Structure 1
């Protein structure tokens, strides 16, 4: 009987140890999302998120700030001084705000990459691809936001940002005001490279045929993939046809 009880105790201890290890390895669901309530709390969390970034901050900015405004926030300057890269998409109405042009000028002065669209789907800030801040819509007057840690939801938010970023137009500020730059398209050599690749030639064969270096061909293909926002050459071929960069042969 004592031996039986001892075996049961050992089994229970093993199960508890396994549950403990699983608890350490996998964060609880409620640890993946924080709810922040109140303008001061949201603003403070926004500052912390930027100050804690070490590589990149991505942001979608609307023309109706509630808890966070660029004028009272110098975290971007501090982050830029540490070498943190910024990619920001502005809603067009941001430039109509009292300090809109001033803040755009300051951002471009920090060498931030800034693009513009008619409307962004939501305010959003993502730091290092591991932490995001997104506002909560509420019928009350008190601002609130979600802080999202690494999870499927964060991946979804990152995908949303990249989608908006690809469709937005780069902007620059000159003597004549804000200028929107149309994204660079492929040149004649790019189109030749694409046509030969789609015909089945290898990178080396394309390079030899066009009297280019192999690295030059690969670099051009990489730029075209970045331009179309794809990750595989198969996707690049599809986009090339859809955008009319290469002619689709019809066989009768």
Structure 2
């Protein structure tokens, strides 16, 4: 296929065929290319090209190129083809693949009754499987086990964290795991202590989770540290004040039920994050929170958004959302005006 040929199908893990990837890449390189140019450069038959174009349009990776009826009637296109931005395209494909994977996992778990129907057919007497408590002390193994529980969870994740502030390394470790659960449509509930509102990076992380669909609450005080997956598996520390002693993974129904009841009690006694932040805003007479002051200072420093987000321990998207909220609060039309108004009000 000449210079446009690819040695590997790099987007195959996102569900694209080699031909679909070649078309998408060519449309990125040559915006406005028509179907005739595409057929000529990639050496595709008209039928194959239209078929692959149709699939790419369905996926939202291409726009234009005329209607399918126009193409069928004339063999040419009038409008030319435009490729979706790579960030948008990859995010869309990832979501589709995660959805497909989630459906397959559900189908696999529904096969569990098959084991019960097959067991009586076995002539060998197998000892019953003991489902109880497992203690793991090695931190990497603990993380791996938690990653597995989150990956195979199908319904709900429930968390309680008694720390007054989340360490940056903990946030970076937990963020992708929790966001994957939210993207798959799981219910995520998390509870922290109110003192965490004094730690800007923690608040920013909680607001990010909330913006993706998590339900976040805060309680005056708790010593419980709980992770619950699908109400079937609970993870608790061996000792609440000595993390080096490892974690307990419980699947014993009686114990898990008690831990779940403890979580529900903590949840019922806690208050929504949004309500508490609203109270603090009212007490501050519409002034900014400490986190918002940090965002304003980062914005006024003149650095790039990526640097400001990194300093605050948040994503670039969350950082920009904070700036947009502050501009609205200040009544500013742009960032320089927002900086000027913030200085006039003594916010920075």
TM-score range, shorter chain: 0.5 to 0.7
Q: Is the 8 A contact 1:71 1:103 kept in 2?
A: no
The answer to whether the 8 A contact 2:237-2:243 is kept is no
Answering whether residue 213 of structure 2 is matched by residue 115 of structure 1, we say no
CA offset digits 1:192-217 (Å, max 9, x no partner): xxxxxxxxxxxxxxxxxxxxxxxxxx
Q: TM-score, normalised by structure 1?
A: 0.55
Higher relative contact order (CA 8 A, sep 6+): 1
* 2:145 alignment counterpart: 45
1:10-45 Cα distance to aligned partner (Å, 9 max, x none): xxxxxxx99946x33xx32xx411111132222222
**CA 1:96–1:49 in 2, change beyond 3 Å: closer, same or farther?**
farther
| Structure-1 residue corresponding to 2:266 | 164
Give the whole-Å Cα distance in 1 for the aligned partners of 2:241 and 2:213. 38
Q: Which residue is 2:31 aligned to?
A: none
SS at match of 2:244: coil
Stretches of structure 2 lacking an aligned partner (at least 5 in a row): 1-121, 281-348
| 1:1-252 pair list within 5 angstroms | 20=125, 23-24=127-128, 27-28=129-130, 31-63=131-163, 69-73=170-174, 74-97=176-199, 99-137=201-239, 142-172=244-274, 178-179=277-278
Aligned-partner Cα distance in 2 for 1:77–1:140: 28
CA distance in 1, matches of 2:161, 2:240: 19
Q: After superposition, give the CA deviation of every residue in 1:139-169 in whole Å (9 maximum; x if it has no partner).
A: 8672400001142000000000011111111
More helix by share: 2
The answer to whether the Cα contact below 8 Å between 2:223 and 2:240 also exists between their aligned partners in 1 is no
Structure 2 CA distance for aligned equivalents of residues 139 and 108 of structure 1: 28
8 A contact 1:171–1:180 mirrored in 2: no
The TM-score normalised by the length of structure 2 is: 0.40
- The structure-2 alpha-carbon separation of the partners of 1:53 and 1:180, relative to structure 1 and needing over 3 Å to count, comes to farther
Matches of 1:42 and 1:151 in 2, distance apart? 21
Compared with structure 1, are the counterparts of its residues 40 and 179 closer, same or farther at alpha carbon in structure 2 (3 Å cutoff)? farther
Deviations 1:160-190 (A, max 9, x none): 00111111111218xxx82369xxxxxxxxx
In the TM superposition, residue 138 of structure 1 has moved relative to its aligned partner by 7.3
CA contact (8 A) 1:37 1:144 kept: yes
Quick one: distance in 1 between partners of 2:207 and 2:145?
25
